[in-house]
Amino acid sequence: QSALTQPASVSGSPGQSITISCTGTSSDVGGYNYVSWCQQHPGKAPKLMIFDVSNRPSGVSNRFSGSKSGNTASLTISGLQAEDEADYYCSSYTSNSTLVVFGGGTKLTVL
């Protein structure tokens, strides 16, 4: 069982917006603004999409945005495109000795 909880799957039609949640505790998501999101296409390495809750690395589309409220962080993808179909994982700093915790991943299907 993963330390952070994500929905197993979400779906949306092209052009729509979807939101993926990531729920943790005050020891990780809720306690620090150090939540990241990565995207993984089948057979590929993960790619960083959002860091520090809401920041986008250079080159990532502004259709991707992040936010946090309490112990839950969220990734929103607006104007869904077929290329957005992938698995998405959240991660966070944790005050536990492991330093990092992951979510179980969410499969995004673009209908």
Partner 1 sequence: EVQLVQSGAEVKKPGESLKISCKGSGYRFTSYWIGWVRQMPGKGLEWMGIIYPGDSETRYSPSFQGQVTISADKSISTAYLQWSSLKASDTAMYYCLRRTPTSSTLDYWGQGTLVTVSS
Using CB under 8 A as the criterion, which residues of the chain lie in contact with partner 1 when the complex forms? Answer: 2, 32, 34, 36, 38, 40, 45-48, 51-52, 57, 87, 89, 91-93, 97-105
* d(C-alpha 55, C-alpha 43), whole Å: 26
**Residues 40 and 89: beta-carbon distance below 8 Å:** yes
Q: Are 103 and 75 within 8 A, CB to CB?
A: no
Give 35's strand partners.
Answer: 92
Rounded to a whole number of angstroms, the minimum distance from the CB of residue 72 to partner 1 is: 18
What is the smallest separation between the CB atom of 79 and partner 1, expressed in angstroms?
Answer: 25
Q: Report the residue number, 48 or 111, with the smaller CB distance to partner 1.
A: 48
Collapsing DSSP to helix, strand or coil, 82 comes out as helix
Query: For partner 1, which is the closer residue by CB, 100 or 111?
Result: 100
Q: Which is nearer to partner 1, 45 or 82 (CB)?
A: 45
